[in-house]
């Protein structure tokens, strides 16, 4: 009965993920065996080293286009680009996670097991934060990388869980305001588990329809299957709910503001940049590979979701009084713009990838600057506290203004070029309604950003204006990267546009 | 070929074997009764145990339906591990804790019920139309070499990467449990068994079993210390976990018992 | 299927029963007897009972850790089951795959062990 054969495995194609997973496992061993005082230094160098090594492996692989392990992993141009984007954004957000100068011990709690405000919690206030966050971040990034190159829905589900679970944990580890942080983790976990269940149910129905869970198999099954189309429609709908939840599309967005606000700001930045890239990588792959041939059925529905997301996100952003919630609703609205790219199918894959990079860097820069505005209680995120910061901290306010203008889509910023590229390719794919709604909603969305700018420069300072702390080189580097990329992609976007054009379409055989 | 695979072949034609029918009719009422009892039971621990009963019956059903793997997983993971976690969590929260019945968002419960029922009906009717008339196929091929072998074949070939990556999930779960529930001892804070046992037999420490609270006590409160045979109170009988509470004089005063008529006087 | 296939199973059961009986019977005769005050304990295992409020109130949270760790290794066992059944046909690569999986999960185990997650006190 010796008939089970291992399918061909292309280790080169898997190497970037294997490196990051391996680094995460070594990180856990470091946690187990390294003396307490050494852990931070070892973990930071190990994490950066692992991510850089993974990035190098991706660059070496750049021309690879292969389906390996019997179709479980599909490495192609967009997949590699997304993996690279996630790693680069991950390296940048690591600067915020490793920051230890703004707050003694860093942004994470030393021992999360101490109940908030208990005696033990008070005693640990000045202790260095838990270093487990580094391997957890690595696991999350590795899961996202696998999510973007999954060739079948089962692997995709495991990848989804692998990157979600560490994020749930990281959300609950804030040093300050621990109760709201734990609440955020609980909300994210419960709703995330719920969304995963939807995803899995959708996979089951699609298996019933096509007789396979591989994306290309479903693509062929659509043409040949004798099963009722209801299975396909229901399976697709449930699968899309699971994916749209991670992408924070309306009406699956309700977790976003609470989680973005409650999570430690470095983790919020990681979620806004990397999780968004991974979720849209997955969405783009599923819809472009598995369901391209049934586009007529789902495009109207997804277009409605996109319109809702853009409109609700931008209108609710206007009403926010907390900078983290404002950025959360802005991230919802941006998910709407990216959904326009998903609806436009192959025509807009390249510009969606460009948008993910541009938005990721801007949002990392913005959250990095949010961590700087502090008072004795930690970060001061309420907008009223930001009034008149321009007087005392002109450099900070100038940089933040630039990022806000970038989000608003003013020319000479990446916000303009990325929206322009995305909307023009959507227009070419005959999605004119979506483009019009997108342009109108981005006009509405410009309002809250400009409100912040006005607040910074024109309003008189309040009685207890918080100070803008001086961060270490790490956060400075993150802010620099965010601002610089926002500017460079706004002025000279062509090199990145060439790269995403070279990435080509998703591999669908 | 194993017994179970033979069962699978028997099940392939549409007659139900007698053994299967008998098992089904014995276990189905138990499963249903357990499920109904779980909802109706007032005690959370009873609910959990009734759910165990239902899950075990379901596990047997899976095995009967030629799915020994899912049957074993049902018993090992669900009834064994997940239900144990359920019980532990009930005990952690305190089994007398009740749900708050206050609605935070007005109309939320009603909306949830309506939407939930609507969703279930939509999915139910859709599935009934979609698969109602379909005859199942492919089970025989999938179970050709036996059910578990079939799963092994897929798990260790095509889905090998997903399988290996699952270990990352397990690691994350372990780290998460440690982070959220374990307070690490500082160096020197941890006492080994030798030291602990020395400390126990030092002078002034009574190593024997502690009398439980309420032993010869005169009040129902857990915070009431036990009375030792010599008539003194022993604070050691009150658990360290119970928050210390000032008892009023009347509460703390021993109540009259048969041999002790003088009211209010501590012997 | 003939009954002879069940013989190993019957032999195993018999051996297990015999061993249990043997251990219980022989222990009082060959076991060491050193009495001390600790043997007056209700539960004579050398570890002080965990304080739990009687009357069924809340348990300490360390039980949760134990339960979670049990689930993690329980799920590891679920993967061992099809592997063990199909071991003959899986060949060398199956062995290596499972070794890799176990080693990776063992990483979590070393972490828990080194951080004192397995200690009760």
pLDDT tens for B66-77 read 888 999 999 988
Q: Does C116 reach chain A within 8 Å, measured CB to CB?
A: no
pLDDT tens for B108-122 read 889 999 999 999 999
Signed CA dihedral, A260, A262, A265, A271: sign only: negative
- pTM, two decimal places: 0.85
Strand partners, B227: B233
Binning pLDDT at 50, 70 and 90, where does residue C39 land? Answer: low
pLDDT tens for B210-245 read 555 555 555 556 666 666 667 677 666 666 655 545
pLDDT score, position B97: 64
Q: Does A8 reach chain B within 8 Å, measured CB to CB?
A: no
In a domain, B132, yes or no: no
Give me the domains of chain C, ranges plus CATH numbers: 3-114 (1.20.58)
Cβ atoms of residues A83 and A142 within 8 Å = no
List Cα–Cα distances, A295 to A9, A28, A150, A288, A348, in angstroms: 32, 44, 21, 9, 14
104-163 of A, contacting B, C-beta below 8 A: 111-114, 120, 130, 132, 135-136, 139, 142-143, 146, 154-155, 158-159, 161-162
In a domain, B226, yes or no: no
pLDDT score, position A375: 86
The domain total for chain B is 1
pLDDT tens for A50-82 read 999 999 999 998 888 888 888 899 998 899 999
Give the containing element (helix H, strand E) for A442.
Answer: helix A432-457
**Minimal C-alpha gap between C28 and chain B (Å):** 24
Binning pLDDT at 50, 70 and 90, where does residue B165 land? Answer: very high
| Neighbour count for residue B223 (Cβ, 10 Å) | 18
Of A400, A409, A411, A408, nearest to A482 by C-alpha is A400
94-153 of B, contacting A, C-beta below 8 A: 123, 126-127, 129-131, 134, 138, 145, 152-153
Domain at B12, CATH number: 1.20.120.1200
Residue B1 pLDDT > 50: no
CA distance A121 to A443: 46
In a domain, B56, yes or no: yes
| Residue range of the domain that includes B74 | 1-98
Residue B183 pLDDT > 70: yes
Per CB-CB distance under 8 Å, the chain B contacts of C63 are: 88, 91-92
Per CB-CB distance under 8 Å, the chain C contacts of B3 are: 1
In a domain, B15, yes or no: yes
Among chain C residues, the shortest Cα distance to B82 is held by C71
Of A84, A89, A15, A22, nearest to A55 by C-alpha is A84
Q: What average pLDDT does the segment B128-151 reach? A: 79
Half-sphere exposure of C59 (CA within 13 A, CB side): 18
**Minimal C-alpha gap between A162 and chain C (Å):** 14
List Cα–Cα distances, B134 to A213, A226, A227, A231, C68, in angstroms: 19, 10, 8, 12, 41
Residue B51 pLDDT > 80: yes
427-446 of A, contacting B, C-beta below 8 A: none
Binning pLDDT at 50, 70 and 90, where does residue C44 land? Answer: very low
Q: Neighbours of B (≥3 Cβ pairs closer than 8 A)?
A: A, C
Residue B265 pLDDT > 50: no
pLDDT score, position B56: 93
Q: Does A127 reach chain C within 8 Å, measured CB to CB?
A: no
Give the containing element (helix H, strand E) for A166.
Answer: helix A153-171
Arithmetic mean of pLDDT over chain C: 81
Per-residue pLDDT of chain A (509 residues; tens, 9 = 90+): 457 778 888 898 999 999 999 999 999 999 999 998 899 999 999 999 999 999 999 999 888 888 888 889 999 889 999 999 999 999 999 999 999 888 888 899 988 888 888 888 888 888 888 999 999 999 999 999 999 999 999 999 999 999 999 999 999 999 888 999 999 999 999 999 999 999 999 999 999 888 889 999 998 888 887 777 888 889 999 999 999 999 999 889 999 999 999 999 999 999 999 999 999 999 999 999 998 888 888 999 999 999 999 999 999 999 999 999 999 999 999 999 999 999 998 888 999 999 999 999 999 999 999 999 988 888 888 888 888 888 888 899 999 999 999 999 888 999 999 999 999 999 998 889 999 999 999 999 999 999 999 988 888 887 777 888 888 899 999 999 999 999 999 999 988 988 888 887 888 76
In the structure encoding, which two tokens stand for residue B59, read together?
């596990």
Among chain B residues, the shortest Cα distance to A32 is held by B175
pLDDT score, position C52: 54
Q: What average pLDDT does the segment B125-148 reach? A: 79
Distance of CA B52 to the CA centre of its chain: 8
Strand partners, A214: A152
Half-sphere exposure of B234 (CA within 13 A, CB side): 20
Report H helices in A98-152.
Answer: 119-123, 133-149
φ, ψ (nearest 5 deg) of residue B59: -55, -45
Please identify which residue in the block is written with the tokens 């100070």: A467
pLDDT score, position A466: 83
In the structure encoding, which two tokens stand for residue B121, read together?
């009906």
Cβ atoms of residues A26 and A42 within 8 Å = no
Give the containing element (helix H, strand E) for A49.
Answer: helix A36-60
44-63 of C, contacting A, C-beta below 8 A: 61
In the structure encoding, which two tokens stand for residue B128, read together?
């009934």
Per CB-CB distance under 8 Å, the chain C contacts of B215 are: none
pLDDT score, position A58: 93
CA distance B236 to B232: 12
Cβ atoms of residues A399 and A369 within 8 Å = yes
ipTM associated with this complex: 0.92
pLDDT tens for C75-87 read 998 999 999 988 8
Strand partners, A468: A373
């Amino acid at each position: 009965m010796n008939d089970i054969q291992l399918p061909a495995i292309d280790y080169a194609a898997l190497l970037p993920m294997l490196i990051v997973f391996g680094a995460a496992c070594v990180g856990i061993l470091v946690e187990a065996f390294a003396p307490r005082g050494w852990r931070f230094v070892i973990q930071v160098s190990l994490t950066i080293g692992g991510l850089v090594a993974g990035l190098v492996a991706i660059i070496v692989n750049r021309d690879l286009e292969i389906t390996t392990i019997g179709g479980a992993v599909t490495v192609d141009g967009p997949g590699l680009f997304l993996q690279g984007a996630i790693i680069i954004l991950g390296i940048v957000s690591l600067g915020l996670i490793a920051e230890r100068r703004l707050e003694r011990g860093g942004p994470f709690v030393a021992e999360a097991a101490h109940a908030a405000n208990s005696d033990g919690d008070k005693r640990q206030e000045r202790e260095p934060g838990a270093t487990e966050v580094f391997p957890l971040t690595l696991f999350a990034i590795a899961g996202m990388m696998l999510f973007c190159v999954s060739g079948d829905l089962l692997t995709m589900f495991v990848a989804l869980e692998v990157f979600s679970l560490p994020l749930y944990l990281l959300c609950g580890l804030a040093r300050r305001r621990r109760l709201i942080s734990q609440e955020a983790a609980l909300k994210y976990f419960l709703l995330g588990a719920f969304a995963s269940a939807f995803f899995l149910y959708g996979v089951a129905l699609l298996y019933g329809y096509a007789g396979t869970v591989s994306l290309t198999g479903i693509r062929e099954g659509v043409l040949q299957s004798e099963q009722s189309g209801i299975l396909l429609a229901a399976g697709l709908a449930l699968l899309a709910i699971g994916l749209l939840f991670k992408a924070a599309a309306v009406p699956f967005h309700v977790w976003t503001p609470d989680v973005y606000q409650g999570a430690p700001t470095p983790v919020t930045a990681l979620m806004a940049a990397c999780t968004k890239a991974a979720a849209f990588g997955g969405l783009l792959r599923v819809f472009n590979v598995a369901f391209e041939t049934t586009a007529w059925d789902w495009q109207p529905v997804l277009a409605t979701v996109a319109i809702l997301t853009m409109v609700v996100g931008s209108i609710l952003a206007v009403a926010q009084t907390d900078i983290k919630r404002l950025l959360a609703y802005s991230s919802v609205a941006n998910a709407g713009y990216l959904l326009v790219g998903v609806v436009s199918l192959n025509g807009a894959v390249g510009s969606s990838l460009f948008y993910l990079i541009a938005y990721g860097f801007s949002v990392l820069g913005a959250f990095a600057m949010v961590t700087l505005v502090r008072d004795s209680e930690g970060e001061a995120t309420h907008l009223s506290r930001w009034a008149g910061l321009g007087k005392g901290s002109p450099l900070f306010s100038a940089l933040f203004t630039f990022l806000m203008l970038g989000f608003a889509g003013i020319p000479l910023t990446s916000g303009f070029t990325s929206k322009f590229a995305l909307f023009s390719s959507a227009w070419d794919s005959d999605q004119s309604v979506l483009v019009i709604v997108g342009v109108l909603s981005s006009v509405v969305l410009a309002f809250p950003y400009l409100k912040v700018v006005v607040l910074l420069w024109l309003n008189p300072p309040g009685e207890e204006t918080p100070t803008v702390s001086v961060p270490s080189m790490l956060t400075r580097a993150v802010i620099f990267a965010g601002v610089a990329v926002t500017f460079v992609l706004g002025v000279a976007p062509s090199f990145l546009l060439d790269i995403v054009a070279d990435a080509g379409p998703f591999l669908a055989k | 070929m194993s017994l179970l695979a033979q069962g699978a072949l028997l099940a392939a034609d549409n007659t139900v074997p007698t053994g299967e029918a008998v098992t089904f009719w014995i276990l189905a009422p138990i499963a249903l009764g357990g499920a109904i009892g779980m909802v109706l039971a007032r005690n959370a621990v009873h609910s959990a145990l009734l759910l165990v009963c239902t899950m075990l019956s379901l596990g047997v059903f899976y095995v009967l339906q030629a799915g020994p793997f899912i049957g074993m997983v049902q018993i090992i993971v669900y009834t064994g591990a997940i239900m144990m976690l359920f019980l532990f969590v009930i005990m952690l929260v305190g089994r007398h804790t009740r749900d708050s019945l206050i609605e935070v968002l007005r109309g939320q419960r009603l909306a949830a019920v309506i939407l939930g029922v609507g969703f279930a009906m939509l999915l139910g009717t859709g599935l009934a139309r979609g698969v109602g008339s379909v005859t199942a196929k492919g089970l025989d091929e999938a179970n050709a070499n036996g059910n578990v072998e079939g799963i092994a074949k897929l798990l260790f070939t095509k889905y090998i990467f997903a399988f290996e990556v699952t270990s990352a999930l397990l690691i994350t779960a372990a780290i998460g449990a440690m982070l959220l529930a374990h307070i690490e001892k500082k160096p020197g804070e941890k006492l080994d068994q030798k030291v602990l046992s020395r400390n126990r037999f030092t002078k002034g420490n009574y190593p024997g079993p502690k009398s439980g609270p309420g032993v010869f006590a005169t009040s129902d409160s857990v915070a009431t210390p036990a009375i030792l045979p010599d008539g003194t109170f022993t604070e050691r009988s009150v658990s360290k976990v119970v928050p210390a509470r000032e008892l009023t004089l009347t509460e703390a005063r021993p109540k009259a018992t048969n041999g002790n008529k003088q009211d209010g006087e501590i012997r | 299927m003939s009954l002879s296939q069940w013989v190993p199973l019957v032999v195993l059961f018999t051996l297990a029963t015999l061993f249990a009986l043997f251990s219980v019977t022989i222990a009082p005769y060959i076991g060491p007897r050193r009495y001390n005050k600790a043997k007056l304990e209700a539960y004579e295992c050398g570890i002080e009972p965990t304080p739990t409020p009687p009357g069924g109130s809340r348990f300490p949270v360390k039980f949760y850790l134990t339960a979670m760790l049990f689930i993690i290794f329980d799920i590891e066992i679920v993967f061992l089951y099809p592997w063990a059944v199909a071991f003959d046909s899986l060949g060398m690569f199956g062995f290596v795959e499972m070794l890799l999986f176990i080693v990776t999960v063992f990483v979590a185990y070393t972490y828990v062990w080194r951080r004192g997650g397995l200690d009760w006190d």
